[in-house]
Amino acid sequence: LSPELLEIARCESGLNPKAYSWDGGAQARGLFQITRKYWPNITDECAFDPNCSVDFALSIETKDYDRIWTCSRLIKAGAYPRY
């Protein structure tokens, strides 16, 4: 896992694989706060499983994480502390 993806997961979920929140009416799930709205093929089982969700994050064809995760933009802007 790249340092960038680790920071994104820390920002999105606090590194809690069971984390969930609501994003515009869609439940965001797991380490990377994966929503059904944008990723309907990712099951709850996968979203909440650390190995599966990391595999999902690594499989994303685009590496333009700013388009996918708000936390990526926040980290780059210095609005979220790096660890």
Q: What is the pLDDT of residues 40-66, one digit of tens each?
A: 999 999 999 999 999 999 888 666 666
pTM, entire model: 0.81
Write out the H or E segment, with its range, that includes residue 45.
helix 44-47
The CA distances from residue 26 to 22, 33, 34, 40, 52, in Å, are 5, 10, 10, 11, 20
Q: Residue 77's pLDDT is what?
A: 78
Match 């995760």 to its residue by tokens.
69
State pLDDT tens for residues 8-29: 899 899 999 999 998 778 899 9
Question: Is the pLDDT assigned to residue 3 strictly greater than 70?
Answer: yes
Give the model's pLDDT for residue 74.
78
